[in-house]
Structure 1
Amino acid sequence: MRLSVSAIRIEREMGNGGEALVACSDRSMGTGIAIWDIRTGDPLLHIPTCASPPHGLLCLGNQFLVASQVNKHGSVGGGAIFTWPLKKSQSPLRSYPIEAIGPISCTMDGVYLAGGAPSGNVYIWEVANGRLLKTWRAHHKSLKCMAFSNDDSVLISGSDDGMICVWSMVSLLDMENLESSPSLLHYSSEHRSSISGLLTTSSANSTFISSSLDGTCKAWDLVSGRLIQTQEHPLGITAIVLHPAERFLLGGSIDGRIFVSVLNIGLVDDPFVVAEDQLFVLEGHKGSITALAFSTLGLISASEDGTVRLWDAISWVTIRRFNYQKAGAVTNLALIPHSSLLTSSNHQRVPYQIRLSLLEKCPQPEANSSKGTVALLHSCSSLKDHQTSLDFRTNSLNHQIFEMEEAHTPAALQMKLETSIDNRMWATRMTKHVMEINKHLQSRLLDLMQNRLLWSAEDDSPTARKSKKLKIGSPSLEGEKL
């Protein structure tokens, strides 16, 4: 029953018009992006001039395709991020960050875009105006993959040395401290090789999954960073995906096999290991698995052998095979509603229209604005009252949890987890409010600094010095001071 409900949920998200499969390679810019109808296998659209690294392609709000571009000759500078509107036939919006960008990720609402660089730097942009909100050195090695939590409260990043970091979005969106490093909630160095995949669950357990070329997949508690489960495979894992029911984890390996294993991430006392003999194996690809995804029709896998396969999720046999021209490896997969490719003359409308702008290279100060001072004071007072109320509720809940823990009840752990999730969601909502306050305060501060510089310049001018000499001893000016 859970499988059927999950399929219905995906079908609703994708719309009644079915799904379209998007694929691209990192081998040649001329090969571009290929889009097929999953149900019929017919090609729908070809977008030229795109070569995207692994985890470098995503669909933004079912309205845009966003792809980071492979940097030529492996140099650090000269990165590019291209954005194509799906509803219109026009040239892509080309943004050129200060350095090459590899993996990218976006929030569920499409408001923020994150990008990771080979240098270990991470960038956060606000999509609507293209503003670079934050950039910092997140890892010592190259970024390999990134993922936002389902409630957009945290950003998870994985690097080439096996390190995983979990960052607070409240800290990332703090516009008052652009130069400071954001708060690191927790990190892990359990993996012994490069991180190849990151994904979060939609269940109330608040967990995320990581995979690595060391042959392991690990389940983590998102709040505490505690290791819940480890799955061991005979070969390096290059891509992962969750079954829609979130009861099975599928991992693609470097030899083309796909391992299917049971994912048990309930509330357990100690982490445990799923051995190799507990895995079900799918075989069919002749090259390393590069990407995995689930559609309403089944599992979709891409490989370095240049093919994309659609597998039936019950019999686990190949239903359809897509050939990605002659360029070789398919590095990225994405699923979009078929209706997203229709022209704007069609009567189907999206819930809200996402605005896009060119992405900035460096953080910029906010434009001057002196409006809303009185409203800001009231907002600050309201925010303080809200925080006081939240502290009271939190203390009350903590007292209840403590009493339940004294009785050694499982409900205490569940309540503790739900309380933490609620607090994170509230903090994310309040961040936008605080950001608006910071913008006005920063603008006011810049105005005052600019006026002081102008006054200083006028005081140092020859005319001002001469005027001061004439004013000395004048009775009419006695007692007048600025």
Structure 2
Amino acid sequence: MAIMHLNVGCHPPLKIRRRKRSVSPSCLAEANMAAPLEVVISSDSGSQLWNCTVFDLHSGSSLLSYRGGNSAARSLAVLRGEFLLSAQLGKNFINVWEIQRKDQLQQKIVCPGVVTCLTASPDGAFLAAGVAEAVYLWEVCTGKLLAVLSRHYQDVTCLKFTDDSSHFVSAGKDNLALVWNVCSVVQMDLSHAPEPRHVLSRHSLPITDLHCGHMGAQARVATSSLDQTAKVWELSSGELLLSVLFDVEIMSVTFDPSEYFLFCGGRDGNIFQVSLCSQSLNREKSFQSDGEGNQVFKGHRSLVTCLSVSMDGTLLLSGSQDETARLWDVQSRQSVRCLAHKGPVTNAVIMAVSANMFLPDSRPAVPLPRFSRHLQAPEGPDAEGGGAWVRPALHTQEEEESYLQKADRLYSLMHAVSDKALCGDGENSALRVAELEEEVQTLKKVNKDLFEFSSQLLTKPT
């Protein structure tokens, strides 16, 4: 068999000429912009050149700027990852940009009055705005105004949807926070006005901010108020879970993603971190900085207008009237970056990068329609213009049982079973009840004697 040897060394090395490729600036931009998974979007009330700015979360470099007017506080929203919306400061319209076209306003949504707050449902189906004391709810796909909710007595200050878009919460200067079931609101029954599922009424002064946690209809809701408290509620039952009293008015509030901590921004510029995993069982307590997770972030010189936490819970973003937005390392409580603005910061949020944000040639899958300013109800099976009104099925409107209701029901069942086992039926039940009543009277007497003895001991002169 002939064996062939390949002598690589006997041939001169080949010279490979590298052809220079021209790379367009847009390709370079796309390559550079592909890195960030989260960005900071902020706005202020003093800038003349742009409305909103997008910053890299880790480097702090400015990536995009959206031009046209100034945004009102708590009015910045991203719709379907394709549109950026913000209410014009002190005006009766909402600015809309295609999220990749930073230099051109796509349209303006005219509203019946000055917009005080704005939010979009995470599924992109609904847009809600506060106008004076009313909440306006639009259907995004048609632009029709579905409902005008006038249950607040003073201006609405903040609006938030739950992460499953099944509910939204409105809060206002009337000290009330109202929980609305979207299914009940969009049922176009003109015979009666929609009613809130729960009325959260434990604040004594105007509510300044609210935040909805995860878990949809079983989420927890945080509210802050000028009454110097921040409160945590169970959305499904409307029960107050925790109330924390501070030394200053609380202007902003948020959870971390795992809801281990509650972050509260004060009028004095301090940010308070409240541990939600404390061993204390008290529902009402005063804030005290300690080693169990209650800490204070110091750095702002004026009131904290907005708060947001990164997806991994390691970075906290805060905006302030001192014309800065700061990024904080949550574990060390150190300010790692300061983003200067031209005026008081009105909005600052950490959000996941939209797929279209850095692709200049992309376009929204569905353009936005014209939004109606007036409530329109269908007169028959077909609305005017041949549009179809989609109403959720009736079974989706049934209220889910809350955790507290489930616990009460299980406890009552267990109590009934134990009573039957201990007491039996008929005559034994009456005998057992008599024995228990006698035991209760004995315990009351012992308790009274202990109280009198303690009082004498404490008041006895030393």
TM-score by length of 1: 0.68
Aligned to 2:276: 263
Aligned to 1:121: 134
The 3-state SS of whatever aligns with 2:197 is strand
Q: Deviations over 1:432-476 (max 9, x none)?
A: xxxxxxxxxxxxxxxxxxxxxxxxxxxxxxxxxxxxxxxxxxxxx
- Structure 2 residue identity aligned to 1:95: I
The 3-state SS of whatever aligns with 1:175 is coil
C-alpha distance in 1 between matches for 2:374 and 2:138 = 10
Aligned to 2:239: 226
Mapping of 1:190-339 within 5 angstroms? 190-203=202-215, 206-264=219-277, 271-278=283-290, 279-295=294-310, 296=312, 298-324=315-341, 326=342, 328-338=343-353, 339=355
Aligned to 2:458: none
Of 93, 103, 106, the residue aligned with 1:92 is: 106
Matched, 1:182 2:194: yes
The 3-state SS of whatever aligns with 1:364 is coil
C-alpha distance in 1 between matches for 2:69 and 2:186 = 31
Matched, 1:170 2:183: yes
Aligned to 1:343: 359
Aligned length: 366
The 3-state SS of whatever aligns with 2:203 is coil
Residues 87/216 of structure 1: CA separation in 2 closer, same or farther (3 Å cut): same
TM-superposed CA distance for 1:85, in Å, is: 1.0
Of 339, 344, 357, the residue aligned with 2:369 is: 357
Q: Deviations over 1:17-71 (max 9, x none)?
A: 3222111123466542122112222111222223222211112232221101122
- Structure 2 residue identity aligned to 1:293: S
The 3-state SS of whatever aligns with 1:318 is strand
Matched, 1:155 2:168: yes
Aligned to 1:434: none
Residues 342/232 of structure 1: CA separation in 2 closer, same or farther (3 Å cut): same
C-alpha distance in 2 between matches for 1:123 and 1:139 = 12
Please give the root-mean-square deviation of Cα atoms over the aligned residues, in Å. 3.5
C-alpha distance in 1 between matches for 2:45 and 2:407 = 54
Aligned to 2:118: 104
Where relative contact order (Cα < 8 A, 6+ residues apart) is larger, the structure is 1
Aligned to 1:413: none
Of 34, 44, 47, the residue aligned with 1:25 is: 44
Which has the larger helix fraction?
1
Matched, 1:50 2:50: no
Residues 322/187 of structure 1: CA separation in 2 closer, same or farther (3 Å cut): same
Identity %: 26
Matched, 1:138 2:151: yes
Matched-pair contact (CA < 8 Å) for 2:47–2:70: yes
C-alpha distance in 2 between matches for 1:38 and 1:399 = 42
Aligned to 1:432: none
- Structure 2 residue identity aligned to 1:128: C
TM-superposed CA distance for 1:150, in Å, is: 2.5
Matched-pair contact (CA < 8 Å) for 2:112–2:131: no
C-alpha distance in 2 between matches for 1:200 and 1:367 = 36
Residues 208/156 of structure 1: CA separation in 2 closer, same or farther (3 Å cut): same
Matched-pair contact (CA < 8 Å) for 2:163–2:215: no
Matched-pair contact (CA < 8 Å) for 2:325–2:348: no
Matched-pair contact (CA < 8 Å) for 2:228–2:245: yes
- Extract unaligned runs of 5+ from structure 2: 1-32, 417-462
Residues 234/48 of structure 1: CA separation in 2 closer, same or farther (3 Å cut): same
TM-score by length of 2: 0.71
Aligned to 1:479: none
Q: Deviations over 1:383-429 (max 9, x none)?
A: 78x79xx99x99xxx999846533159xxxxxxxxxxxxxxxxxxxx
Q: Deviations over 1:246-294 (max 9, x none)?
A: 10011110111000011249997x7342533453101011111011111
C-alpha distance in 1 between matches for 2:93 and 2:244 = 36
TM-superposed CA distance for 1:143, in Å, is: 0.6
C-alpha distance in 2 between matches for 1:111 and 1:130 = 10
TM-superposed CA distance for 1:202, in Å, is: 1.3
